[in-house]
Structure 1
Amino acid sequence: MGLFDGLLGNASDANHQTVKKELANVLMPDENIDLAFQLVRDLIVFTDYRLIVVDKQGLTGKKIDYKTFPYKSISRFSVETAGHFDLDAELKIWISGAADPAQSLQFRKDKSITQIQQALAVAVLK
């Protein structure tokens, strides 16, 4: 059901070894992956030091946008859960000094948004 969930906009757990290989040129030598979620081709990765959002663009996915958010620079975040008529859940992340969210991610009715919110709370508030 992972691919089907991905097509519907649901995040699914990603294999840490696969993600580590894919991010080999992005991760620091001693950086470990704590959590990873896949959204069709895109990734949301929590490491010991930062949140990485990987956005694969275009039809082939060869163009990739890597966004890094060090936990210490995340000033706040919000999660809006899906309702009965509004099927989208939304995560917004603000960085220090910014009035607008630096990142906004949409999810379909999804249990992963709760895990992502908890992981952000632990990383940012500890």
Structure 2
Amino acid sequence: MGLLSGIMGTASEADLEKVEKQIGSILIEGETVERGYQLIRDLIVLTDKRIIVIDKQGVTGRKTEYMSIPYRSVVRYSIESAGTFDLDSELKLWLSSHADPLTFDFRKTGHVADIVKILTTHTCR
């Protein structure tokens, strides 16, 4: 089971000021945060350079893994909108280094649409 495939639940939009404070030390000069999504303790952050997945581990959450995914590594992606009975939207990312996609669930279809715009902007250049 991969890092993200085991995540259960749905992501909601995170406060960008809090996200920037939390990851400010790993951002490069000139890199800006475009969106952030909170999933319980974990975060998915989209910058103008990459996707950063922050996985808080353990009972206390003090141990943290930061996965940096450059947009050039995204081979393809798919989205599934929310339905009548399934209220969550889903985003799948296939990376050049993984056979199986990374999967993210979101509470609102609008979040997935916003992410797709960012992904398309940075992968179709």
Considering Cα pairs closer than 8 Å and 6+ residues apart, tell me whether 1 or 2 has the greater RCO. 2
How many aligned residue pairs are there?
117
Segment of structure 1 superposing worse, 44-53 or 31-40? 31-40
Per-residue CA distance 1:79-115 (angstroms, 9 max, x = gap) = 11121122332111111253211x2112234421221
Q: CA deviation at 1:70?
A: 0.4
Q: Shift in Å at residue 25 of structure 1?
A: 2.9
- Structure-2 change in CA distance of 1:61 and 1:110 (3 Å): farther
Q: For the residues of structure 2 that align with 1:113 and 1:36, how far apart are their CA atoms? A: 12
Q: Please show how residues 11-26 of structure 1 align to structure 2 within 5 Å.
A: 11-15=12-16, 17-26=17-26
Output the TM-score relative to the length of structure 1. Answer: 0.77
In the other structure, the counterpart of 2:33 is 33
TM-score by length of 2: 0.78
For structure 1, the residue ranges without an aligned partner over 5 or more in a row are 1-7
Q: Which range moves more in the overlay, 31-40 or 65-74?
A: 31-40
CA distance 1:111–1:40, change in 2 (3 Å): farther
Give RMSD over aligned pairs: 2.1
CA distance 1:10–1:73, shift in 2 (3 Å): closer
